[in-house]
């Protein structure tokens, strides 16, 4: 791919995807860029953020085999999300969702502690 095409593609990529591909792209012997590692890292980021959002917002206490099945399907779904993450802000959306769920959890824990101290007094 010539530099003009590469710049066009990078210009259309979402922010975190572009950052990962710019940082982890490595030149090959022929002078082209190899983005294989960057693709795996993007997939890992999408999967880890999806698992975090699932765990914070939707996970229930399940048996181990049920958890394995859920995370297997989450893994397969993240393959599709990774392709979308090239040009859509998927990772950014997962970060926002995780932050909102973390804030919700912290507030809920503080309310629970407040109710616990009120009932003791």
Task: HSE, CB side, 13 Å, CA atoms: give it for residue 41.
Answer: 14
Tokens, residue 79: 């393959």
pLDDT higher at 120 or 2: 2
Q: What is the pTM of this model?
A: 0.84
pLDDT at position 120 over 80 = no
DSSP class per residue in 20-57: HHHHH-EE-TTS-EE-HHHHHHHHHHHHHHHHHHHHHH
pLDDT at position 121 over 60 = no
Q: What is the pLDDT of residues 47-81, one digit of tens each?
A: 999 999 999 998 889 999 999 999 999 999 999 99
């Amino acid at each position: 791919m010539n530099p003009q095409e590469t710049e066009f593609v990078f210009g259309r990529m979402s922010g975190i995807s572009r950052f990962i591909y710019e940082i982890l792209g490595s030149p090959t012997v022929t002078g082209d860029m190899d983005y294989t590692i960057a693709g795996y890292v993007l997939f890992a980021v999408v999967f880890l953020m999806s698992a975090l959002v699932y765990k914070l917002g939707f996970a229930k206490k399940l048996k181990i085999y049920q958890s394995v099945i859920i995370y297997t399907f989450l893994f397969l779904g993240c393959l599709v999300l990774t392709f979308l993450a090239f040009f859509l802000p998927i990772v950014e959306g997962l970060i926002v969702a995780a932050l909102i769920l973390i804030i919700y959890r912290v507030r809920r824990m503080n309310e629970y502690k407040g109710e616990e101290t009120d009932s003791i007094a």
